[in-house]
Amino acid sequence: MSAADQNEARQVEAIGEVDRLFAEKVSGKNVDDRANLKEMIAYVREGDVVRVKSPDRLSRSTTDLLSLVKDLKSKGVAVEFVDSPALNTDTPQGEFMLTILAAVAQLERATIKERQAEGIAIAKENGVYEREPKLSDGQVFTARELVDRGVPKAAVARELGVSRQTLYTALKGKGKYGDDEQAQS
């Protein structure tokens, strides 16, 4: 499992020969958005072994990783981590080590996220981190007209190439789309 900007060939080579390969170019941070992961879980049967290069390729969240491993184990499916055989789920020690390392990885990600937020806050205070609104005044006007005509907001957001949250913020006139912000533009 790889993010879109990664080359999965290295991971596939490390895994070796398998009966069926499930690969996807999405982040492992969210289990719900991973169609191939769901397909793999539905596909595996008792006695199967799911071979993964490393735990973070299966999930970036300790809770999700442990839940996935538990679900697979309840189906009689073992999980083998090629880069870290000591984490394989066929022994109590492997499960323990997997739990500890997954927790450490989650802490590291949270720390990085916290540092990033601190850096952004400092940059904003110094006036360095100013982003332009994603929608122009004209686009907000058009969006309001479309919504008033009954076009679903999700469709309007897709058409404008923004998230629904950005559209909602703009339609409510909040943040960068607020009257005081618009007057300054």
Asked if residue 128 belongs to a domain, the reply is no
In the chain, the number of structural domains is: 2
Task: Let me know whether 102 and 176 are in one domain.
Answer: no
Say yes or no: 28 and 89 in one domain.
Answer: yes
**33/74 same-domain check:** yes
- Co-location of 71 and 150 in the same domain: no
pLDDT in tens, 126-163: 877 777 888 999 999 999 999 999 999 999 999 999 99
From the candidates 2, 67, 163, 185, which is the catalytic residue? Answer: 2
Residues 17, 99 within the same domain: yes
* pLDDT, greater one: 32 or 70: 70
Residue with tokens 């981590």: 81
Residues 156 and 78 in one domain: no
The answer as to whether 61 is a domain residue is yes
In a domain, 161, yes or no: yes
Contacts 24+ apart (CB under 8 A), 176-180: 176/131, 176/132, 176/133, 177/133, 177/135, 177/140
Q: Does the annotation mark 61 as catalytic?
A: no
Query: Domain check: are 18 and 96 in the same one?
Result: yes
Compute the mean pLDDT over every residue in the chain, rounded to the nearest whole number.
82
How deeply is 78 buried, as exposed, middle or buried, from its count of CB atoms within 10 A (0-12, 13-18, 19+)?
middle
Same domain flag for 89 and 141: no
Cα–Cα dist 131/166, whole Å: 13
What is the residue range of 18's domain? Answer: 9-106
Residues 6 or more apart whose CB falls under 8 angstroms from that of 69 comprise: 58, 79, 89, 95, 98
Statement to judge: residues 17 and 65 lie in one domain = yes
26 and 95 in a common domain: yes
For residue 4, the model assigns a pLDDT of: 42
Q: For position 39, which CATH number holds? A: 3.40.50.1390
3 pLDDT band (50/70/90 cuts)? very low
Q: What is the pLDDT of residue 55?
A: 84
- Is 3 within the bounds of a domain? no
What is the average pLDDT across 34-47?
91
Residues 85 and 144 both lie in one domain: no
CA distance 159 to 146: 11
One-letter amino acid identity for 25? Answer: K
